[in-house]
Amino acid sequence: MRHSGPFDNAHLIMGHKIYTEIYDNPERVHRLLEIISDTYIKFTKVQKEIIGESGSVHCHMDIKAPGAVRVCDDASINISADSYREFSKPYNERVLSECGGGWIHYCGNGKQIFPEVISSKNLRGINFGNPELQDINEIYKEASNRNVAVLSWLGDVPNNAKTGITLLRNSNSLESARQLVANHVAHS
């Protein structure tokens, strides 16, 4: 199930003004993030009950991922690490904690927030909308040290990667898909 994270939802509600409000009216932003987090957690639990999905895994597009939720945090790539620590991380961690863990996705570069994202409590996986902007060797090193899976990676894989990374490859036929798998197995 795809959920925008608390900060993403706050951005959807407030628009780009959220980026100045975190400085001009931080208590207002925190209150909104509290309301969104409460709603997010309640909605997730009810939705999982209705669809019969367990709290330990969830399905998103083409993968079955560890943890109960996927937190999209695209809007947070536009803030500093300090602002992320104050306005995004605690709410993401609350959602991950109360929903049984999960993974965080963001598009863009986000290098300034990556250390905070990867160190989030109850994080089981991380996914990037723009893997070409990431250094997979650094990502994998940090993720593997924390037992966090790198999900749906599109690029090359570090030579030392033996586990903890899922690959996303496209194929235009069953035969070419089989060849992709055979090539991957041969190089593993």
88: its two tokens:
């995004």
pTM reported for the whole predicted model: 0.86
Beta-bridge mates of residue 165:
150
Residue given tokens 């060797």 in the structure block: 137
**Angle at CA of residue 17, ends 14 and 21, nearest 5°:** 100
Fold of 2-187: TIM Barrel (3.20.20)
Distance CA 10, CA 5 (A): 9
pLDDT in tens, 25-68: 999 999 999 999 999 999 988 988 898 877 677 776 667 777 78
Query: Per-residue pLDDT tens for 102-148?
Result: 999 999 999 999 999 999 999 999 989 888 899 988 999 999 999 99
- Alpha carbon distance 16, 13 (integer Å): 9
